[in-house]
Amino acid sequence: MSFIPGQPVSAVVQRIEIHKLWDGDNLILGFSIGGGIDQDPSQNPFSEDKADKGIYVTRVSKGGPAEVAGLRLGDKIMQVNGWDMTMVTHDQARKKLTKKNEDVVRLLVTRRSLEDAVRQSMMQH
């Protein structure tokens, strides 16, 4: 998951489908995001590369739709419903996730353990 500005990023991703839940008047997904190109990347506790300005999952509420769907703390969200999340501002990311007319969001997320698992399985062969 190395991040070189200007170079295409390649990562091992996992597809996660979250079904939004009605909480009173709002549709919630059950997690919090941090990061964005307008934010300070050095404060991110989850990123390996402190210059990475991507969107990260900073909190997953227990028993919520995100946890049920398999989202973990520290995941980097690469795409939401086909929209890119690696070069967006914090607010744009929030908007893409909280569209009122969508019930389901399909995320592509990446984490360190995925890479390790793939590398291990490749080494076994």
Q: Is 50 in the site for other proteins (CB under 8 A)?
A: no
Question: Does position 34 bind other proteins by CB under 8 A?
Answer: yes
Q: What is the phi/psi pair of residue 50, to 5°?
A: -75, 5
The least CB distance from residue 125 to other proteins, in Å, is 39
Is residue 29 a contact residue for other proteins (CB under 8 A)?
A: yes
Sites for other proteins among residues 95-114 (CB under 8 A): 97-98
In a 3-state reduction of DSSP, which class is residue 98? Answer: coil
Among 15, 50, 94, 119, binds other proteins (CB under 8 A): 94
Total number of residues binding other proteins (CB under 8 A)?
18
Distance of CA 108 to the CA centre of its chain: 7
| 3-class DSSP state of 68 | helix
Instruction: Report DSSP letters for 3-44, one per residue.
Output: --TTSPP---EEEEEEE-EEETTEEE-SEEEE--TTS-GGG-
If one asks whether residue 43 binds other proteins (CB under 8 A), the answer comes out as yes
Q: Is position 85 an interface residue for other proteins (rule: CB under 8 A)?
A: no
Question: Can residue 39 be called a binding residue for other proteins (CB under 8 A)?
Answer: yes
Q: Among the residues of 38-89, which ranges form H helices?
A: 65-69
Residues that bind other proteins (CB under 8 A): 28-29, 31-34, 38-40, 43-44, 58-59, 61, 90, 94, 97-98
